Structure 1
Amino acid sequence: MTATSREVAEQVLRAGLAMDTDTFVGLIAPDGYVEWPYRPAGVPDRLEGREQIREFLTAQAKGLVKFDEYRNTVIHETTDPEVVIVEYDVHGTVVPTGAPFHQTIIAVLRIRDGLVVSYRDYLNPLVLAETLASAAGPALSG
């Protein structure tokens, strides 16, 4: 039996928190995409297909932010059985500086046949821009 959209969203969240790229990518449809409608300069607006998503996540896993926990997680099921909306707070550490990291996320996922076909990640671009700037600071001065 295929997992429900809610169950797949829960699996995606667990893989994201664990920074488990293989599991995360395995939950994406071959032609699925991840996009960030609001993002600072230098962050792609959309990643299409498993390979592009894998390449991006692998590069990110090398040390910008380490996730410690998700808090206040709420999964909203909608009248469309393919669509779930997820709200959560990410707490972690900016790896290059050791500074605390906190980001609030709202994500809209469309899940079909147990795989994510679209993942729209609405994050606060100001937090991400500040994180990128703080991480670049030591690299530029060192």
Structure 2
Amino acid sequence: MTGHEGTGGARAVLERFRQAVIDRSAEDMTDLFAEEAVLEFPFHRPGVPARLDGRREIVEFMAGNWTGSPLRYRAYHTLAVHDTADPGTIVASGRSPGRARPPARSVCPTWPS
């Protein structure tokens, strides 16, 4: 995940990303990513791309998931955040408690990304 300069760095961008997902806000997601942003999912499930290139592709993928998914995340809990040689890039892992409907059931996937 690559952050914008002047917005608090990559860790602040991660927190804004998490809130946009919880809020299911395509507008916030659009504001968050640079035109040339890249979002990678190194441990993705079938049907999920390993990489999204560009703001448009990222926002369309996320908004499409929100529309078609019964899963709603309530929070994100960080397990680890790793810095890279690029100060605008981090690697994060964590847990995402939420609810899936129907039937209503709690879920808490663990994600490295």
Bin for the TM-score computed over the shorter chain: 0.7 to 0.9
Distance 1:100 1:86 in 2: 23
**What are the equivalent positions in structure 2 for 1:35-54 lying under 5 Å apart?**
35-54=40-59
For the 8 Å contact 2:35–2:55, the answer to whether it is kept is yes
Q: 1:22 aligns with which of 27, 30, 41?
A: 27
Shift of residue 76, structure 1, vs aligned partner:
4.5
Q: 1:33 aligns with which of 8, 33, 38?
A: 38
Gaps (5+ residues) in structure 1? Answer: 107-120, 122-142
Gaps (5+ residues) in structure 2? Answer: none
Relative to the length of structure 2, the TM-score reads: 0.74
AA matched with 1:97: P
**What are the equivalent positions in structure 2 for 1:74-113 lying under 5 Å apart?**
74-77=80-83, 80-106=86-112
**Runs ≥4 residues deviating over 6 A:** none
Larger strand proportion of the pair: 1
Query: What fraction of aligned residue pairs are identical, expressed as a percent?
Result: 24
Label 1:92 to 1:82 Cα distance change in 2 as closer, same or farther (>3 A): same
What does the per-residue CA deviation read over 1:43-96, in whole Å, with 9 as the maximum and x for residues that have no partner? 222222222222211111123310112234654445642232333210001223
Label 1:51 to 1:14 Cα distance change in 2 as closer, same or farther (>3 A): same
Distance 1:93 1:10 in 2: 20
Distance 1:72 1:90 in 2: 9
AA matched with 2:93: E
Distance 1:5 1:71 in 2: 16
**CA RMSD, Structure 1 to Structure 2 (Å):** 2.3
Is the counterpart of residue 2 in structure 1 residue 18 in structure 2? no
For the 8 Å contact 1:65–1:94, the answer to whether it is kept is yes
AA matched with 2:15: E
For the 8 Å contact 2:36–2:54, the answer to whether it is kept is yes
Alignment coverage as a number of residue pairs: 107
What secondary structure is seen at the aligned counterpart in 2 of 1:39?
Answer: coil
Q: 2:77 aligns with which of 47, 71, 95?
A: 71
